[in-house]
Amino acid sequence: MKHGRLGCVDIPALPLQLLLRGHEDWRLHPAAVVDRDKAQGKLLWVNEEARCHGILPGMRYAAALSLTRELRAGVIEEGEIVAATEQLAQLLRHFSAEVEPSEEVGVFWLDADGLSLLYPSLKQWNELLHGDLKQAGWIASSVVGFTRFGSYALAKAMGDKSLAVEDPSQEERWARRVPLQRLGFPPQLHDRLSKLGIEDLGGFMDLPGDGVLRRFGREIHRLHQLARGELWAPLNPSKPREPLVLGQFLDHAERDLERLLHQLQSMLEGLFEKLRARHQLLRALHLVLSLEDRSQHEATLRPAQATLDLPALMELLRLRLSNLFQDGKRLKEGIQHIALELIGVDPSKDQLELFADTPGRDLSAAQRALARLRAAFGENAVLCPALRQGHLPEARFEWKRLQELKPARPRAVDPGRRPLVRRLFQKAKPLSRQRRNEPDGWMILGLEGGAVQQLHGPYILSGGWWVRELAREYYYLRTPKTGWLWVYFDRRRRRWFWQGVVE
């Protein structure tokens, strides 16, 4: 019997990876995906840091917080998972025309037959595929095998690696050694098999089929048949959705803002009808205007939330295009061609609810205000700080685009132990060169700051030999007129600098 080649890609804990991609500073903390952001919400996925604190999927959010107050949790909507699945499928279609997303979130099947004319070997094809997934920021495993369950089991056990199996017997030998806990079997089944001394897939496959059906039921019996290769199903690839794009050449070069907006509205009405037919909402609009001088003006607009409100979108378009037109009305070089692309997403659970909870603060109003700022001044007009790895204090954060506001989750603070906050200057300020042993006191800020009354330190920071060696001595000091300051003495430059304040 001739065996076809099949690829299996596993993106472990896809919703958790989506959550951490939006919160890079959470990667070093216990993190979890919950079904709802409430005390009784259930944890669906957790990272390794959370498991180290005894936090497991299935626990309630309140119970997990009782184990550690450092837990970070968030909700990933079904629409976000569907959108990420479609993006991953589109990426994988660059390597195979037939891609089938599995019912299990994060698992994909690919047809690997007939690729020998394009790639020297399936091993190289698999390595390139895995490399593209890593470059896109995903933790993934990819396996080229011969059977669905065999390649699936190996992908679950590989971690962040790629593997190409040489023959069916090798796939079966390796798959039989995969621990059952890697395959996501129901915990009750794993406990019952453990009592029988079965810890790997091979032991499960060796059980008699009739006994599995009588003791564990039809669902587990089907898993048993799949593992033994007694069930077979052809690849059922998903059909990619056609992009919602529309381009139009204008009979006469357009220089008037109002006429251009009218033209854009008529084009968007047809595209919105297609969005409604797909039961989707608009998440982003990409606009390209080609001018008479062969230059192009590109803009991407993102409403406050996914919507089909055309007037609200036209308001954002007016704000963005008013910067392009002189005096807000006329354009020096006329527009000859308009290209539009709509990016749609499925509605979120909150948008489908008839009676939704109304918070004290209108978060959607803030989202709409930020959307207007982006439309008027560009995508980089709204930024937020994000933590990152760095050696120096000023290198431990960066500014990233704020895509959407998250609901505030304030924590109770002991009034007797109010936390202090260090506020950093964008660039450290050089201070007075006055010596510390002056008879009138150490006036590091000059006469207007007064003499230093308290001093704590030094806290030494050195390193940087891989780029530029540095040596700093950090101090906390207080003056009668400025409060607590955060300063450091640079040994190499022999000078004091003001890094920030403590409030």
Over residues 376-398, the pLDDT tens digits come to 788 788 888 887 777 788 877 88
With beta carbons less than 8 A apart as the criterion, state whether 494 and 435 touch.
no
d(C-alpha 461, C-alpha 418), whole Å: 27
- Residue that is last in its domain, among 52, 79, 106: 79
pLDDT for 44-81, tens place per residue? 888 888 988 988 888 899 899 999 988 999 888 887 88
Answer yes or no: do 23 and 45 share one domain. Answer: yes
In this predicted structure, the answer to whether residue 36 has a pLDDT above a threshold of 50 is yes
Does any domain span residue 141?
A: yes
- Residue that is last in its domain, among 163, 194, 228: 228
Q: The CATH number of the domain where 35 resides is what?
A: 3.40.1170.60
Answer yes or no: do 60 and 87 share one domain. Answer: no
Instruction: Specify the higher pLDDT residue, 484 or 3.
Output: 484
Average of per-residue pLDDT across 352-374: 69
With beta carbons less than 8 A apart as the criterion, state whether 297 and 339 touch.
no
Does any domain span residue 389?
A: no
- Which pLDDT score, from 0 to 100, does residue 350 have? 59
Question: Of all residues in the chain, what percent are helix, strand and coil, respectively (each to 5)?
Answer: 35, 30, 40
Average of per-residue pLDDT across 419-448: 78
Does any domain span residue 460?
A: yes
For 113-186, list the strands marked E by DSSP: 141-145, 162-164
With beta carbons less than 8 A apart as the criterion, state whether 435 and 443 touch.
no
Q: The CATH number of the domain where 287 resides is what?
A: 3.30.1490.100
pLDDT for 95-120, tens place per residue? 998 999 988 899 999 998 888 778 88
User: 355: pLDDT confidence band, cut at 50, 70 and 90?
Assistant: very low
Nearest to 31 by CA among 3, 65, 1: 65
Does any domain span residue 399?
A: no
Total tally of structural domains belonging to the chain: 4
pLDDT for 179-238, tens place per residue? 887 887 777 787 888 888 888 899 999 999 888 898 888 888 888 888 888 888 888 888
Q: HSE (CB half, 13 Å, CA atoms) of 341?
A: 9
The mean predicted confidence, pLDDT, of the chain is 84
* Residue-range definition of the domain harbouring residue 495: 418-502
Answer yes or no: do 75 and 187 share one domain. Answer: no
Answer yes or no: do 131 and 45 share one domain. Answer: no
Answer yes or no: do 138 and 169 share one domain. Answer: yes
Does any domain span residue 23?
A: yes
